[in-house]
Every structure is written in C-alpha cells, then in structure tokens.
Amino acid sequence: MASLLDNLARPSAVVLQLSVVLGVVFVLLKAAQFYQKRKKLNKALEAFPGPPKHWLYGHNHLVRRELGSVRSLLWANEYPYAFLRWFGPVLPSLVIHHPEYAKVLLEHKPSVPYKFFAPWTGEGLLILEGAKWYQHRKLITPAFHYDVLKSYVTLMSDSVKVMLDKWEKKIAERKSVELFQDVSLMTLDSIMKCAFSYNANCQTESNSDSYIRAVYDLSYLLSNRMQNFSYKDVFYNLTSQGRKFQDACKLAHAHTDKVIKERKMLLSNEKGHDKIQKKKHLDFLDILLCTKVNV
C-alpha cells in the first residue's frame, strides 16, 4: 500500500518541481528583458538633463498636487530646451520647450499614458495611428465644418454665461473662485451639449447626475494613476481605485449606449430622420449617425 502511494506521489512531485523551475526561468527571463529595456532607455535618455531623481519615487515626491505646475516652471527655467520627469522608477516623461524637439516626438503617439484612456474612451483618435486613424478622421471631418462649428457658438456661450454668473455670485459673497473646477465643468457642459445634446446642468448640480459623477471620477482616477506605480492593468484592476475606475466606466458606457440607442431608433424611421435633419443644431452624434446612414 505504501509503495503504491509512493508511486502516485512521485509524478506529482516531479510536475510540481518542473512547474517551479519553469516559473523561476520565466521570471528570470522577464527580469532580463526588463533590465535590457531599462538599459536601452537610460542610454537613450542620458543626453537629456533633468533634476536629480529618487531611485523609487522618481520625481513624484518633489511634485505635490498644489505646487506641481510651479515646480515644472522652475525646472523649465533651469532646463530651457527639455528635461526628464520620472513618474516612479520606470516611467519617464520628456518635457520639451523647443519646437524642433516637439516635431520629432509628436510624430508618434506614446502608448503611455494614452492607453490608460482605452477602457473609457475606446480606441478613438486619441489612441489610433496610421490608416485606421485617417479612416476615423475622415469620418468625423463633416463635424468640423465651419458652418457646423458656427452653430455651436451659442451653446458654448450659454455654458460660459452660467460659469460667469456663478463667479459673480461668489464675488458678491466675497468668496474665492476655484478656476480649475469651474472651467472643467463649463468645458464638460459645452462638450455634452455639442456632442449629444445632453443638458445636465452639471455646472450648478454636478453631484445630482450619475454620468457627471462618473466622468468626474474617471478624470480624477486617470490623473491619479499616473502619479503612482499602477501602470499594468492586471495590477491596477486589483486595487480599490482600479475597481472604482471599472465601475465608473460601466456607468459612463451605460449612459452613452442609451443615448446612441435612442438616437438610432429615431433615425430608423423616415420621420425621425427628417426631424433630426431639420434641427437648428446638429450635434456631433447626429452628424456621425447620419454620415453612417448615408454611407
């Protein structure tokens, strides 16, 4: 009986040992690849100056949220053409101040941080390159015609007026004005009106709409992600912020899918199509769907 158990245990032990060996080899290969990439990257970047960095934090510990822009301006004065900004130990960012530098670098889109937007925005113009980028750009060209953009001026003006009214009220009460948040909400308000005719009063009731809160959360989480070490999706999705990001994406997608579905149903019948074509303001979604129908 003992001999039989020993015979059964030996293959399992061999498989376990083999799995451990293969796992160690895999980790060593990945470590070697990482080392080679890091060595190549450091060699490519050593020609560019920059402030001294911490081996683990990079420059994150030097750039606080409230003073980040000031610190960047100080570095820009010290390094007038370009300087390196490290987000942690492995992700560098080259901050440039010269048009020739910009011309070379902007020919190709970096995968980071644009790839972080993919779960939210999908593979749009922000991420695409090459033939697919030109195909998508050609599709939306009618939306940027002068006559179309001209019709958006009134909508944008209305959004700006709401913001200015808020500022006048705060000034009358001798309160400070938080520019970034107010301008961000005004921009979001304008985009939603022009993109799919959605009027959520987000500038005055920003906490009452689930879609607005989702967009606000996504913007914050994306900005915050670039300040920590959660670059790989597999690790980021395990964190509390990663799960919150996924939930916010679902909320945002549910809202936009609903808007698109309702607009498609309206376009599916002749009366609805004629009604959209006669609208005073064709929004971005109208133009895209009408273009698709005509094609």
Give the start-to-end residue ranges of the domains of the chain.
1-44, 48-107, 134-294
Lowest mean pLDDT among 12-21, 25-34, 114-123, 222-231: 222-231
Task: Average the pLDDT over 244-272 and give the result.
Answer: 86
141-165 pLDDT, tens per residue? 877 878 878 888 999 999 999 999 9
Q: At what angle do helices 270-277 and 284-294 cross, to 10 degrees?
A: 130
Task: Average the pLDDT over 213-217 and give the result.
Answer: 89
Neighbours of 244 (CB within 10 A): 14
Q: What is the DSSP letter of 64?
A: -
Highest mean pLDDT of the ranges 35-39, 66-70, 204-208, 243-247? 243-247
Neighbours of 198 (CB within 10 A): 19
CA gap 245, 218 in Å, rounded: 6
Mean pLDDT rounded to a whole number for the chain: 81
Neighbours of 168 (CB within 10 A): 10
Q: What percent of the chain has pLDDT over 70?
A: 83
Omega of the bond leading into 99 within 30 degrees of 0 (cis): no
